[in-house]
Structure formats: structure tokens, C-alpha cells
Chain A
Amino acid sequence: MNEAIRTEVLSEAEAYGAWQQDYAASIGVDKKVVNRSGVPIQPIYTSRDWNSKDHSADLGMPGQAPYTRGIYATMHRGKTWSQRQLTGLGTPSEFNARLLEVLAQGATALSPIPCNSVFRGYDMDESHIELLGTCGTVINTTGHMDRALQGVDLAKISCAQNDPTPFTLLAFMLAAARRRGTDWKSISGTSNQSDYLSHYVANHMFFRIALPGARRILTDHIEFCNRFLPKWNPMSVVGQHTQQAGATPAESMAFTLCTAIQNAEDCMARGMDPDQFLPRFTFFFDVSISFFEEIAKFRAARRIWAGLARNRLGAKDPRSWRFKFHAQTSGVDLTRQQPLNNISRVTVQAMAGILGGLQSLHTDAYDEALSCPSEFGARIAIATQNVLREEAHLTDVIDPLGGSFYVETLTDQMQAQIESVMQRVQDAGGMYKAVECGLVQGMIGESARKFQQMVDSGEQTVVGVNAYQVEEDSSARPINARPDRDSMQTLIDEFKAFKVARSQSAVQTALDALARSAGDVKDNVFGRVVEAAEAGCTHGEICQTLRREMGFGHVQAIV
């Protein structure tokens, strides 16, 4: 009988067996496939691997626990995601001009990036001028913040602050809002870099104050924001840093969930009600180019978090169970070689995030592996989101990959992988203890090294790097704009004049109160930071005062 026109219907088992034979005969060498998180990947998935009848309780409908299919009933079919691009360069005035342009292009929320000197907790007059404003905006005072956000109605536009403990930039924004007469209750946004644990283990630049102090201030910050800024998300638990530093997607998700537990339990130890602070917890992740793995990572995490919030943390309000997250496409996957290829990488990463059910997205500029993103690169990154949202029909159906034998099996397997890493962290005494003893840092370093070895050996192909290389014309690469040295010098001169002209006694009183609050657990350190900002204290002065009292943020050197 001719195979091609065979019409009789095979039973499922017969069909599977026949396929197995065909496959074995045709494939030749069957290469072992393992995803970045270590999950072995089969050539095909069927109802033998995942059967909807047995698993409907693991899924629920969108907006229903355990939220595997999404945290809202409408998901992207209702409201798409916030387009929140990181922006920042030069002086506050230069930044403001760029900001207004980004808003005009379709950005719906802001995410200003401060200069690296600000991240390290220094003022501009303590820094090498060569490094000021090269990767972000110099903001050292309430006046700088006010100028940076000129023309932005803080009651209408959500403005995240990428600023770690002690949250000086949020304090400057609140002080500026008060000057403008904007009601704090109307201000929305997120403290994007509130996760001191991820800074300690991975993005060290943001780690300003030693661990115990950072831990105390974070809880103060959550308490303050819950009380005075009802629309503000004070806690963003960050997986992005650990994954960029080398953790696998499963490891990075596990570390993030353990961090969320740690922070929540710290709040509860202070007598706070989980249903008050958990609805204002958000998460922030990296999306790599490992497409299905990332989608499964997000679907699994929603399910795990719903269980943790409900059972372990005892939250009763469904808003506490919802796993809201922002995602950023992975810069580590981008290449210097043939940089325009990065546009396609970012597109695939962004699609994984969207199909994974994100609430907010930053797409990287294609030239990130060459320089800080050029304006041209940043424009294409925004356009990529516009194309995906408006043209690709990705938002028509909620959780379009739900029910796929593969995606559902992988979601289960990623969940198991994540939970096994979480167990290691919990066995070490929870996230705080696990980073104190270096366990997490060691795992990240090991995974980073393994990945590099896979690229070096050619086991992992990277187009343009270890395969498909071409001769490249370096003149085609984008030219990187650097901040104007003269306007930076003018800003430094203005800053010095400001420090002389302000009320010295008000500054001193505020810094003294801040120093005292560090030693008084009944006081709220972040409340004192806000007062200091209103009294005219600078970023460097606030950070220095707290570092003196609570210790400098040094990190462990682990290779």
C-alpha cells in the first residue's frame, strides 16, 4: 500500500509508534537538546506529555488563580502593555528635551535613568567629569529633578524611578511635586530598583548601603509609600540583574521569588498586613532569546507566586496573588558583530515577553553592544514595540500558547526547575542568608562561565560571533553622542553655587535627623530622606550620611 495515500485512521498509540520509527530512521544523529535552564527538550510533545483533562486546575482562566494564563481577565486584548523605555543622558535639561520627544513618539510611561555617579551615591562635584552624564542623567537635587520632568504632569504620567536604597530620586520627585502643588496621592509609578538583594549579588552598581541598612530602609520605604503614595509601587523584585549576570532563566526566577518572600516576610515581621503591601509588589525580568523557555518561565512564575502569596504569606486578597511584571529584552544576547541583526533578536525577545503575559516592556536598542544607545537606536526599539502591538496580531488572543502540549509541559518542567533552586536557597536560610554566604553569587558565576564555554566551543551558535561572520565596515557603526562638556561644567558650577546659597541650618538639621533615624528603629529612614530632599540636601549628602551610620555598600569579590 502506498504510504502517501494511506487513508485509514491510526490509533493515537499506533500513530505515535509509526512516527517514532520514521523519526529514528530519518534524523541521523539525534543531538541532545537542553534549554538554558537545564530542561531536556524532546523532538515532539503530545497528549502523552500533557493532557488538558488532568491539568485544568493548573491553568484556570485569565484573571483566575493560579493565573497561569494571565493575571487579568482581558490581558492584552483589553489594555496592552505599558511602553516604558529607559531614557537618560546628559544634564537635566538635555534629558527633559529627550523625554518630551519620547512621549510624543508613543511612550506611555517614563523610566528615567540616572548617571552612574548617581547610582554609586555621589554628587557631580565628587566625580570624574569624563563620566558625568555618559550613561544617564545627572540628578543631585530636587531642582535637577524638577527640571528633568518639566512639562510632565506627574498626576497623569506614570514615572518610575530607577533608584535604589535610600530612594533619593523618589524623594526629589516628591519634593518637586509638593512645590508644583501635585497631590502625592495621584502620583503613580514604581521604585524600579528597590531590590537591594539583586544589587548585592548581581548589579553591584546599585548597592549603596551595607546589607542590614539596605534591608531596614527598604521596609521603611514600603511602609511609607503604602501610607502616603497609594498609587506607587515601592517594591520591584528584580530578576533582570541576576539573569544578565549569568543565572539561567530558572535560577533567576527562583532567586527573584525567594527575594519576594524575604521582603514580604520582613514587612510582616514589622506587623504589616500582606494584603496591604503585596498588591503593590511588582516584578522585573530579563527576557532572553530562548523563546519558549522564557514564555514557560513567566507562566510558571505566575502559578508559583499565586500559591506562595496565598499559602505561605497568607494573603487573602486576590490582588496580592497577581504576579505583575515588567520585562526588558536581554542586552547580553546582543552582539557587536553585524549589529543590525540585534533588531531581530530584540523582536523575538519582546515577543516572548508579550506571549508570556507581561504588563510593561522595555525593548533594547540594537546598538547596545556598541555603545550607550544612540537616538536612532532608541527610536527603532520603540518602533519595534509599535509594530508588534499594532501589526502582528499578537494581542488578539489571550495566552495564545496555552494548551500547547510543548508549552504546557515546559511550563510544568520550568516550575519544577525553579522550585528546586528555590529549595536550595530556602535550605540556606532564605534569600538574605543565601546571598550573605555567597551561595547565589557562586551559582550565577558558574552558569555564566558555562554559557561562555558553550559559545567558545561552538556548541551554542551566536550569529556573527562564532558563525556566519562577515567582513564589516566599521564606518557604518553608529556614532555615539557624548554629553556636552561645557554644559556639564555649567551644571557643576550651578550646583556649587546652589550649595552655598541654600539654608545651611535647614540642611544640617535634616541631615542630623536622618543620621539619628538610622539608629532609631522606631523612626522611618525614608521619611527622613524625603524631608532632607525638601530641605535642600543633595543626593551625595544623603547617601554619605546613611553610609556613615549604616556602612558602605561593599560587595564580595567572587570568581
Chain B
Amino acid sequence: MSQVVIPKVLVTKIGFDGHDRGSRVVAAGLRDAGMEVIYTPPWQEIATVVKLALEEDVDVIGISSLATDHLIVPKLMLALREAGLNDVAVIVGGIVPDADEATLMEAGVARVFHPGSSMADIAAYVHELAVAGRTQRVVV
């Protein structure tokens, strides 16, 4: 299938932190890149993120973590699998120490974007993930 893919992305934050400059800038950047972006304020419950992903049928979930909230991303990955959302890719952006990055990758996170990542790189990768995810769904 070679139709144009317009990725649908959920940009959100889980846990307690409220620093949302990163999530706002990335959400605006993806929107400017022509994607359909669903943005939420910080502090979403894991169950809410799963529900939103399901109801909105998103291709990619972007989690912003500036103050260790990524430590509960493995719980999110588990909840997504339990909900049958295996084809939704999860990326994490923010301040993620190396040891934690390894844990996140093991838990099934597609990629971690660190401070200094360019908007163009993030957008290109999200697009790639969306295309791959939809191909996977078509095959299934």
C-alpha cells in the first residue's frame, strides 16, 4: 500500500512531573510536520493513556520525562500489551540516564530521544514508526 500516511500521535506525560516545555515543543513540531497530534497535560494515569491510545487509534505514543517519570514506562508497556495494543509504538523523550534507557528498550520502547535531538529527526522517526505499524496491521 503506498498511500500517504498521516501519523496519529499521542504526546503526553505520566507520573508526577509537570515540566512540559519538551512535550509542548514536540507536539507543536509534529503538528507543523503535518501529523495529527493529540496532546494532554501532564500527570496522566497509565490507564488513561491506554484508553486514549485505543479510542483515538494512534500510531505512536510519545512520553516526555524530565524528572524520572520514565521509571514507570515499563508499567505502561505492560498495560498496552494487556489491552492488545502491540502495534502502537512508544517513544520516550527527555532526561533518561543510560542505565534506564537500557531498561526501557528491554521493556519494548522503540527509541529514547535525549536533550539536543532535532525536531526533524523526531518527526522522521515518528513517520517511519507509523508506516511500519500500519503495514503490520494490514498484514495481520
Chain A residues with a Cβ under 8 A of chain B: 115-117, 119-120, 122, 127-128, 130-131, 134-135, 203-207, 244-246, 332, 335-337, 368-372, 445, 448-449, 452-453, 456, 462, 464-466, 474, 477, 479-480, 554-559
Known: A204-B20, A336-B115. A128 touches B15 (CB 8 A): yes
Q: State which of B18, B95, B114 has its C-beta within 8 Å of the C-beta of A204.
A: B18
Whether, in the assembled complex, B90 has its beta carbon less than 8 Å from a beta carbon of chain A, the answer is no
Residues of B within 8 A of A332 (CB): 21
Stretch at the interface among B56-64, B65-73, B127-135: B65-73
Contact of B99 among A207, A337, A480, A558 (CB under 8 A): A480
Given contacts A130-B72, A205-B16, contact A336 B114 (CB under 8 A): yes
A134 to B17, CA, bound (A): 11
B24 A445 Cβ-Cβ under 8 A:
yes
- Given that A480-B97, A557-B40 are known contacts, is A203 also in contact with B116, CB under 8 Å in the complex? no
Contact (A203, B19) CB under 8 Å given A131-B68, A448-B25, A456-B120: yes
- Write the nearest CB–CB distance from B108 to chain A, whole angstroms: 17
Q: Assuming the A-B contacts A127-B16, A204-B41, are A452 and B67 also in contact, with contact meaning beta carbons closer than 8 angstroms in the complex? A: no
Q: How far is the CA of A368 from the CA of B66 in the complex (A)?
A: 10
CB within 8 Å for A448 and B115 given contacts A128-B72, A131-B15, A370-B95: no
> Could you say which residues of chain A place their CB within 8 Å of the CB of B31?
559
Q: Min CB distance, A131 to chain B, in Å? A: 6
Q: Do B39 and A448 touch (CB < 8 A)?
A: no
B27 & A559 in contact (Cβ 8 Å cutoff):
yes
What 1/0 mask marks residues of chain B from 93 to 108 whose CB sits below 8 Å from any chain A CB? 0010111000000000
User: B131 to chain A: closest CB distance in Å?
Assistant: 23
Q: Are A452 and B42 in contact (CB under 8 A)?
A: no
Would A131 and B16 count as touching, CB distance under 8 A? yes
In the bound complex, CA of A479 to CA of B102 (Å): 14
Tell me the interface secondary structure of chain A in the complex: loop
Q: Can you list 30 A-B pairs with a CB-CB distance of less than 8 A?
A: A119-B18, A120-B43, A122-B16, A127-B16, A131-B16, A131-B68, A134-B68, A134-B71, A203-B18, A203-B19, A204-B20, A205-B17, A205-B42, A244-B19, A244-B21, A245-B20, A370-B97, A371-B95, A449-B25, A456-B118, A464-B116, A466-B116, A474-B98, A477-B98, A479-B97, A479-B99, A480-B99, A555-B18, A557-B40, A559-B24
Tell me whether B116 and A462 are in contact (CB under 8 A): yes
Query: Separation in Å of the B50 CB from the closest CB of chain A?
Result: 16
Kindly state the separation between the CA atoms of A475 and B132 in the bound complex, as whole angstroms.
33
| Category for how many chain B residues contact A | 35 or more
Other-chain residue from B21, B27, B69 in contact with A246 (beta carbon distance below 8 A): B21
B15: min CB distance to chain A, Å = 6
Q: Check: B28 CB closer than 8 A to any chain A CB.
A: yes
Report the nearest A residue to B32, measured CB to CB.
A449
Whether, in the assembled complex, B37 has its beta carbon less than 8 Å from a beta carbon of chain A, the answer is yes
Contact of B42 among A204, A245, A474, A477 (CB under 8 A): A204
Q: Which A residues lie within 8 Å of B47 (CB)? A: none
- With both beta carbons as reference points, the residue of chain A lying nearest to B98 in the complex is identified as A474
Contact B41 A449 (CB under 8 A): no
Nearest chain A CB to B63 CB, angstrom units: 14
A405 vs B41: C-alpha distance in the bound complex, in angstroms? Answer: 45
Known A-B contacts A131-B72, A456-B118; the reply to A119 vs B16 at CB < 8 A is yes
Q: In the docked arrangement, what's the CA distance between A120 and B119, Å?
A: 30
Contact flag A449-B28 (CB < 8 Å), given A128-B15, A456-B119, A557-B40:
yes
Identify which of B39, B99, B115 gathers the most chain A CB atoms within 10 Å of its CB.
B115
The 8 A-B pairs with the shortest beta carbon distances in the complex, nearest first, are A205-B18, A204-B18, A116-B16, A134-B68, A465-B116, A130-B71, A371-B97, A336-B115
Interface centre among B16, B42, B75 (most CB of A within 10 A): B16
Contact of A452 among B16, B20, B29, B40 (CB under 8 A): B29
Decide: A206 near B18, CB < 8 A? Known: A370-B95, A559-B31: yes
